[in-house]
Structure formats: structure tokens, C-alpha cells
A and B are shown apart, each in its own frame.
Chain A
């Protein structure tokens, strides 16, 4: 079955409806249709050219050209091939041509600025091009792109959004350049490699893959750097006038470059001193002061990212972020660091790649990180503070940075460490419900408790909702917009305290879940039916990543109405593997039925290899949901 529904139940549906925070969706779908064309051959060649640069930056002594030639085939009429190249201030698209035989085809080209999610402004641009394909013959397309600074070279993937019969990647390294080619996700025997020498001492590293299926971006993917084979071209050193000059040869060199940028940031502590004093004045304990400053930045600085050229790597000054009340991760971390420093603590800027990036700092490349946080150092303890994570309490970390390697600044040197991984229990949601039957209407009292990411998510949705809509949105969320479920007497606790678990208590009336026929009552007590119909989409090719790992428990205490006894209970369910647990247990007592359900996604990811197990488990889950308790008049 192809599922396009919400997954982790319609978790924030009610609130999201009002808050327009649709980024937190859990759709299991995403694959678009296959393209009506494929490439019989795709050759991607990287060459390096020396420039006559007088810059002191050795990066500008040479440029990198990426030339892609493809032979495209279609078996359908009226097919247009459309593709895009990305470029920015440090790169350029030099050529895009298409030919059929000797006939040059008209290519439609446009270049526009490219806005990715969450980035207010960047220098990223998108160059789209398209041309018609013919059934008669192959169409040959050639694109040439130039990188003026090798540091901005992206990883090179074999796969693209259409199928390719044979993909060849060649990296032609001249004598004057030292290049390391790092291989990722090369499965045994799938990529053939060879190295040979061309004229002029150019060493060619060639990689060939055949029969590549089309791979498109899938929603809730884990990140293609985990799944697809690719290479990274690391330019380590250049020979200038017979002298070898280091480029980015090691993690030390990478840090040196970052450090150089950070040194240019001139924070002015005077502007911040009064606020630091005011924020910390009421506290005497270090812990309280640190927390107060961490929360002040979370609460008072809006995340607005500018990634225009070097601004993508260099933090804005602390006073700039403070005055504007907005900044990106670097600016917010730099402000927090400066405020903590003013308060007398040892705080450091810290680089890291979020969970979507598969690399660690053993790779000397700008591709290894995409985020910055602040690390507080207290004796031997490293406390990681991410001020961009609104409502995240001190000592907890967002799933997206857990387990990631970090590079912590330390003057001219640095320290590598890891952010701890927290288990699924940290993000648990518990729901305790008592149900009574009144006629054929169920009346319930419910207490929901949220921890970790589940709590942060709800905080964000709630606080992002307009004041006059909060109550309505909360009711809508609790009833999941179901007319049959009337929510009353909602009480919440700790929306004003991110450190404590969130409580939501409410009463409700539930219609149409009980059917009376003759002397029998057919009753459904698990009205939420989390993950019903949540099978994976058949066409999905990659792992499915939830926003975080989690455990949700439901305990329903159903009081058997007087004069009735239980004549049938659905079967229990117990499925457990390394990726997920589905557990349902009905326990019958004289006067009540206890229903316990636990659903856990242990790592936050369902790997493709487990899809079959997952779908089977979902079917079993559904069959329990679709089985009713039968009560019979005594």
C-alpha cells in the first residue's frame, strides 16, 4: 500500500494548523515519478588549471573545472530534459550545450538566486537548463563549471535523478598538485577503479559504475552522504616555485582557516555587559547563571540566517546579533560565548556537522560541518549549548546534533569531542487515560506527559501560535480535529518552564466508538490508532528518518459498565527488533480492562533493509486496531 499519510500520528496536527509550522511532518512518501529519459553514458571530468594569481591565499593559485558530458535517451515523444547546476560567488557555469548528431539544440537557460529552507539570504544560485530530447537519436549534453576556490568543491556522486547506464568519473591531477580522493559508500565490486598517467605527468584517477538507478531526494531521508557512493576531492598541497605549499591537508589546516575567520570577528563586550549583569543578577550559583544566559539567547534572538559568501563561515559580531536581535547559528553561538565569557566562564565556539552529514573531522573539507554551537568548559566537563534550539533545556541536545563529532576552539589549537547520544526514552510521551461508558458514549480523563524532543516540539508549536488561538489550537490538537472527540477542561503545566516535562490534562467525550447490537457492545478503546496505515511507500529507495528517536506509551484503564462482562478481547501484540518495538497488551480484571501500548522507534531511523519487517508490523498493528472488545450483558 502506498501511504501518504502522517506518520507519528498527527502529532501536532491541531497546533500546526494554526501555527503553520509544517516543517514537522512525518510523511512516509515522497518519490516522484521516474523521468522519461536516462543517460547511456555520463562522463564527469575534473581538471585543475593554474592561475596567475598574486593572492596570498594559495587557494586562488588554481581553479577546478568540472566538465560533464552525457548521452541522453528517451523512448517517448515530446520529452524535455531539464536539469540544474548550483553556483555561488566562488564558482561559475561556463558552458551548457546540447547536440543531436551535428545539430545544435536550443537550450533554455535561466539563473536565479536559490533559497533553501531556513536561509534568509545566501549567495547560492541555481542555473537551470532544458532542451528537447528526441526518440530518433541520442542527445549529447555538455556542461562546464568552474570553481575559483577548491574549498567549495562539493562531494561527487555517481547517481542522479535519472537512471544512468554507465557513469565515469575522472579526476585529472597535475604534477604540481597533491590531491587525495576519499571514497564513501563504495560497495565491494560495485565501483571499478584505475589510475593511469596522461601526457605531461597528469595522473588520472578513474571510477566507473554501471546500471545506476535514478535517485531523487526523498522526504525524511537520512542524507545521501550515508547512502550513495561518492568521492571527495581533497586538494592537499600545491607546488609553487618548487616549494610545496599546504592547502587543506589535514584537520589542523581546516581549523587554521576557521580560526583565521573567527579572529577577524571583533566582539565588543561593553555593549553586552549590562544585559549579562541584568540576566544573571538574581542568581548566585554558576549553574543558574549559565542557564539564564543560554535561555536568554534562545528566547531573545530570532534565527535568521545570512550565508552570503564568507558570511556562511564567519560569525557576525556578538554586538551585531545582540542589537539586531537576530542571527544565524554562528552569530547566536558567538553571542552566547561572549555573554558567558563576560560572566566569567570559559565558553568556546564549536563547529560540527548535523546528523544529515555522514563525515567527521578526519576529512579536511568544508563539507564536514554545517553548524556551530557554543561549548562551555567547566573543569573536565564539556557542556554543549545550541542556542538555535528554542526551548531546549540545559543538558539536553537536539537529536540532529546528538552523537556528532565537534571541533571546539582552543586558541590556535582545537579539541575534538562527541556530543552524547540520548536514548529514545529521553523523548518519551506518556498518555494515561481512564475511560467510562455512558450509554454508547465513552467519557475519558487523560493526562499526557511529554519529554525531550516531543516536549520541545510542542513548546515551539504552542508558543508560535497566536495568543488568541492557543486554546482553540490545543483543543484541536487533543481531539485531532475529530468531531467525535469533544475535549473539555484542558489544563496545562510547564509551558513556562522548559526544564520540566510538559503536562496536558483534559476530559473528553467520545462518540461512535461503541456499537450496541442486541445484548452486545462492540468497543474500541484505543481511539488514537497511532501508525495505522503507516506502511512505507513501495517506491521509496532510501532509509526513513523520523525527526528523532522516541517512545510513546499509552495506558488506558477502561471500566466495564455494570451488568456487562467481557466476551472477547483482541489479541496482544509483541513485536520487537533493533529498530522498533510495537507492544500491545490487554489485561482483563473483574471490573476493568487495562490496555497498555508501547511504540518505540529506537534509533529514529527505519533502514530500507527493515521496510519489510516494518510493513508487516504495521499490518499486525492495524489488525489489533481493527479488532473490537466485545462486552455481553450478564
Chain B
């Protein structure tokens, strides 16, 4: 197995089909013809019938198992065996088609086996001799999570509607362990693509391994299984502990908009560690939360998080410190304003990493801890106390439920004086000082120094802070068959996030940034000419993107896209607005009715969320990325010889505790002036608030369908 340390900061968010994926890239044959009963003999794998209530489903998972065995074979050898078995009844043509071309991972030390069970109970082994090695076009359902791997594909012979396909996969490695091994953490919700009669997760670990496991949101608990007399006598060096988790009668997964499955659905998390007794100290550069060897650890204490992270934090590399210090000394020696100093350090550090340290198309990134530690060391020279905080992203969970370090992000609080502080998080090339990632908003931060534990909660931005403001000027050509549109769009707060990478081209700000941040020591130099050389192509790609984006946003074909200008890039907090102007021509939103014209004026606020009949009911709580608002100021010039009718219906207002939709329309001289405001007040709503959300979302949709009439005078 490849060094498991690679996965330290990656959580495997996965389904059991693809869990066994952390293998090498070597091209070597998987062994075929695995006897399925050696993988798991649970009685669930003997079942042929499915519950009556699932007869109309496309397929039903009758039983699936995941088994992990971590055993020391000798003082210097460990055996890691991971296996899965799955038994699925295929009840329609779509399911047969999905499984008739079967793909599986092709790596060393692994075996695979298949069989088909006919409706009358006849079992047919599948001959895998005609399987073919394949590297590309692996259907998503068969794809392993993580690395690109070698696969084999097999056309499953004799597969018909009503058949059960039963297959298993085993990977086993016996090897010399490193002093500390951190196996990939897993977070898994229990709903699958198809309804599931029974699923089992089992662990066999000996007393040299640590197992962190916990169940959340109603997922069944892991229980210890006493060893049989026969198992007690097995030739192993140390005591073996067996744990099992059984889940039954789980409905298939349901897609819902604005949903964080790990916050609402039954979920389990687990991670296995191995530490050589004598070398625990060597592992102190790694963060790990351990219980007792062989015993399930299901609760990580905050003190443990603080202690372990703190050790690691203080050992974190600080290679940028020297360069930042030299820069400060040379260019800002006299600076004494603490806020200003934080600002200078933040932007210089951002420049060093994301611009100076990057090459074209490959932006360098650093970890949260390197970011915080560097700020800490540099700013400590100026009496600015920096405290690093651990925090769980909103889509993963909450601090009290942390089970392994990969769940955590980190941010820094720079205390400027007794009252004033600045909250800083790791950057990319666009983020401003003080920007907080939306996924940390409202989450509890845990300071690493226990003495200071203040229980900081990350502030939540409000809808006004995350805003898109669009002004639209609409005119008609003389022949009244084209609409000329000029728009100006500005984005602030998180609403910039999805726009930045498409709108801002590196070469446009590179020169200014290099000038603004002189580099004081030798370092792999950014290849500025390389950015410049690609500017032409990037400009054309941007234009192509923005044209199609505008077309997609309004839901119309543009007759022509006439101009684009980036006005502000929003890369510094003193000028944080991202802004561009554009103009284009349309024919689509203009219709005739006798001698009159109908203008689909509502469409100019862009496509709106469509609440159809089938999503009136809400299953789960509503988790959105952040509160946000959209302001549209529309000005339509009424052509000479026409009067405008039907505009009164553009006045609407729905306001409740979840959101706002308000539009006001008036005529001033020859212009129709509309002001439209829409806001999502919060980033979270309990499902009970769904109907209130529907109220303002539906109002916005209905506005988008509104039309006005230009009547000939």
C-alpha cells in the first residue's frame, strides 16, 4: 500500500463500492475467481427475495459488507486486508444495463469474484477470463475515489432482469509498517443509490491498532463481537478485537437542493491508526486523536484536539518567515500601526505563495497550519498575538463530533489590542485580508492554547455583505426587432467566489502585483512572460465564458455579444468589489402582438429557482453556502410612438424571516425604472421554514415571467 500519509488531510467521502481504492498505480493483475463466501458469510448474502415495498425499484441492494482487518503478523509485519461484498437484485432493464458492463480495480494483492443468482435460485459463476484492462471511461458507479487506477472491465454474460449479481473484492497486503501509519479517514452516509436491505461494516483489529469510529444522526452503533473459541486459538501474536455494525432497511438516497447529507442523514465516520509503541514520540509531527489500542474511540475531547494540534502547530515549517521579515525590514521598518502591519504581511505572504511561488496555470497553495504559523511567527515580532483555531467546515459537522483531524480547518485570530482583532484564513490569489471561507461561517472555533479557550464562533456574514448588484439599461433598435442591453455587474463578499477565476486574468494584475511586492531574496521566480504569452488565449476564453454565462444566466440566446470590460478585480480589501460592464443584443425577449410589442422584462433579473410541484415538501433541513442578496436596477427606454402598459404588475413584495423579494416599478419621463431586491437572509433554515422560502422564491420566479406591452400610440 502506498504511504497512507498522503491522505492525512483528505477525507474519503465515499460509498462502499469505491472505498478500497487507495492502491498503487502499478499495472498488475487482480486475481479473479474469488470464492465469495470467504469474504463474508452473513446470512444476508443467502437472501433471494426482496421486501414487497421495493418491488417497483430499479434495483435493490440485498446485502453489502465492508470488512477491514488490521493484524500484526510478527514484530515487524502488519497485514492490512480490506474487502467488500455486494449482492444486488436487478429489477429492470436500466439496472441490467448498468451492471452488464462491469468494471473493477486491477491492482496487485487483490482478488475479485462474481456470481449471478437466477430467480429460481440457480447460481452461475461468471468466467472473468474475457475481462479487458481499461484505463479510461470508467462509469462513475465503478470509479474508485482518489487516485487514477488501473481497471478491468467485463461484459457480464447471461444477465437478465430478475437476476441477482453478487460480487466481492479483497485487497490484502502484508508489509513492514512505518513508525506511524494513519489510514485514510472515511465519512459515509448510509443511504445508497438503491434501497438497501442490509449493510455491514466489520473491523478485526489487534491490540497494536487504534480505531476511531462513531455513528451520527441515528446510524446504528458499532458493537464488539466476542471471539469464538476457534478464533481465540488463531495463530496471532496479539489479542484481536472484533467490531461490527449492521444497518438494515435503508431507503435509497434522495436528492434535495441545498442539502448537507452529513448534517442530516445517518452517517458513520472511522479511521484506523497504527503506532509502534516506542515511536509514538516520532509521530508527534502528526495530528492524531487516539483512544486505547484495540478499543473503539468514539469521542475526541477538545483538550485532545488542542494538545495534539498544538504540538504539530509548533513544529510546522515556517520557510516564508525569513523572506517576509526581510521585506518588512527593508520596506516597512517604520510601520507601527498593527492593523496596517497585519495587512502588509497578509498581502505579501499571499503574493509570495500564490504569485511568486506559482507557475502559469499552477497556483501554489499552503496548508492552513503553515498559513497560521507563519503569520504567528512574523507578527509576534510586532507584539501582535496570533491564536490559531480549529474549526469544522459546515458541510462536515460540528466540533463536538470531530473524530479525526482531516475534518478540521484552521484560522488565525490576530489580536491587535485588548478589544480589536482581525480574523485571518488561508488565502488564494484573490482573497482579501479578513475574508472568511463561507464553509466556516457560524462554526465554533477552538483555540489551541487551553488557557485562552474563548470558544470563538466564526462570524456569519449577512445577506448585504454578499451581494450582486446589476444595473441594466434596455433600448430597442429602430425596427423594433432587437433589444440593446448594457449591464454593469458588481459582486461583493462571497458572491465574488464563483466569478473571480472566470473574470480575472492573472496577466492583467501581475505586473502591478510584482511592482507592489518587491521580492527581497532569491526564490523560484515567477515566469511573468509566460503569463503574458498566454494572455491572448485567456482573453478569448474569458470572452467566450462571459458570453455563455450571460446567455445561461438570462436563459436566452444572444444575437451578439458586443463589449466587455473588467472594471475592478476586487483583490484587495480596500477596494473589494469585483465589477464588470458588458453589452449585448437580443431578439429573444421581444414578441409582437398585432402592432404592439411584448417585452419579457422579468427575464432581465436572470433565471430564478423553480419550485415545481414535486419539491413542495422538504425532507431535510436547508443548508445553503451563505446568506446573499441580489439587486437589479433595470431601466427600459420606451421608444418614441409607444406607451408602456402592464408595468404595474411589476410591483411585488414578499418578506419573511427566511428571505425577501421586493420589486418596485415606476415611469419617469420615457423610462420604466424597476428596482428588484432579493435576499436569502440566512445560510441555514430548518425544514419547517421551507414554505416561507417558497413564498419569496416563487415571487421571484413569477416576477421573472412578467411581461410589459409597448402599445403603439
Contact = CB atoms under 8 A, between A and B. Distances in A.
B705 A465 contact: no
Contacts of B28: none
Contacts of A115: 134, 136-137
Given A464-B97, A467-B56, A568-B594, A326 B157 contact: yes
Given A302-B100, A515-B598, A468 B58 contact: yes
Contact of B160 (A300, A472, A484, A568): A300
B645 A518 contact: yes
B700 to A, nearest CB: 12
A379 B615 CA distance: 60
Given A468-B56, A533-B557, A19 B94 contact: yes
Contacts of B645: 517-518
Contacts of A567: 594
A626 B591 contact: yes
Contacts of A3: 557
A633 to B, nearest CB: 15
B188 to A, nearest CB: 23
B179 interface: no
A61 B310 CA distance: 77
Contacts of A465: 94
A512 interface: yes
A511 B100 CA distance: 43
Given A464-B94, A533-B588, A627 B614 contact: no
A628 interface: yes
A300 B701 CA distance: 47
Q: Give the dominant DSSP class at A's interface.
A: mixed
Contacts of B92: 466-467
Contact of B157 (A323, A468, A469): A323
A115 B132 CA distance: 12
Interface string B36-76: 00000000000000000000111000000000000000000
A282 to B, nearest CB: 20
Given A325-B159, A466-B95, A522-B709, A304 B593 contact: no
B557 A1 contact: yes
Contacts of B591: 524, 626-628
A349 to B, nearest CB: 22
B652 to A, nearest CB: 15
A630 interface: yes
A57 to B, nearest CB: 27
A428 B91 CA distance: 33
B93 A304 contact: no
A626 B592 contact: yes
Contact of A304 (B100, B557, B590): B100
Contacts of B160: 300, 325
Given A466-B95, A467-B58, A324 B158 contact: yes
A463 interface: yes
Interface in B481-496: none
Given A465-B94, A511-B705, A628 B58 contact: no
Contacts of A524: 591
B593 A469 contact: no
Contacts of B91: 467
Interface in A449-491: 463-469, 472, 483-484, 486
A495 to B, nearest CB: 12
Contacts of A284: none
Interface string B567-607: 00000000000000000000110111110101000000000
A259 interface: no
A533 B555 CA distance: 13
Nearest to A623: B592
A120 interface: yes
Contacts of A630: 593-594, 596
Interface in A103-124: 112-113, 115, 120-121
Interface centre among A324, A511, A518, A570 (most CB of B within 10 A): A324
Interface in B609-642: 610-614
B646 interface: yes
A326 B156 CA distance: 9
A77 interface: yes
A568 B612 CA distance: 34
B155 interface: yes
Contact of B646 (A300, A467, A517): A517
Q: Which of A78, A518, A522 has most B Cβ within 10 Å?
A: A522
B101 interface: yes
A522 B597 CA distance: 10
B135 interface: yes
Nearest to B481: A623
Interface in B144-186: 153, 155, 157-160
B590 A626 contact: yes
B707 interface: yes
Nearest to B93: A463
A23 to B, nearest CB: 13
A1 B559 contact: yes
Contacts of A463: 93
Contacts of A570: 592
A324 B592 contact: no
A149 B159 CA distance: 38
Contacts of A559: none
A113 B91 CA distance: 34
Interface in A1-43: 1, 3, 5, 19
Given A628-B592, A628-B598, A515 B93 contact: no
Interface in B98-146: 100-101, 132, 134-137
A466 B707 CA distance: 39
A463 B96 CA distance: 11
B57 A5 contact: no
A515 B101 CA distance: 52
A1 B559 CA distance: 6
A524 B533 CA distance: 52
Contacts of A622: 587
Interface string B409-449: 00000000000000000000000000000000000000000
B612 A483 contact: yes
A21 B610 CA distance: 25
A302 B96 CA distance: 10
Nearest to B614: A472
Contacts of B56: 467-468
Contacts of B646: 515, 517
A80 B67 CA distance: 49
A112 B135 contact: yes
Interface in A562-610: 567-568, 570
A302 B534 CA distance: 48
B136, B533, B588, B593 interface centre (most CB from chain A within 10 Å): B593
B697 to A, nearest CB: 11
Interface string A70-106: 0000000110000000000000000000000000000
Nearest to A1: B559
A628 B599 CA distance: 12
Interface in A416-472: 463-469, 472
A422 to B, nearest CB: 27
A323 B707 CA distance: 62
Nearest to A5: B557
Contacts of B137: 115
Contact of A326 (B57, B155, B559): B155
24 contacts: A1-B557, A3-B557, A77-B533, A113-B134, A115-B137, A120-B101, A120-B132, A300-B160, A302-B100, A304-B155, A323-B158, A325-B160, A464-B97, A466-B57, A466-B95, A467-B56, A467-B58, A467-B94, A483-B610, A483-B701, A484-B705, A511-B705, A512-B705, A522-B709
List the 9 closest pairs (A to B, CB-CB), nearest first.
A466-B58, A324-B157, A568-B594, A628-B593, A512-B705, A483-B610, A626-B591, A467-B92, A522-B593
Given A1-B559, A517-B709, A626-B590, 14 more contacts: A77-B533, A78-B533, A115-B137, A120-B155, A121-B153, A304-B155, A467-B56, A467-B58, A468-B56, A468-B57, A483-B610, A515-B709, A623-B592, A628-B592
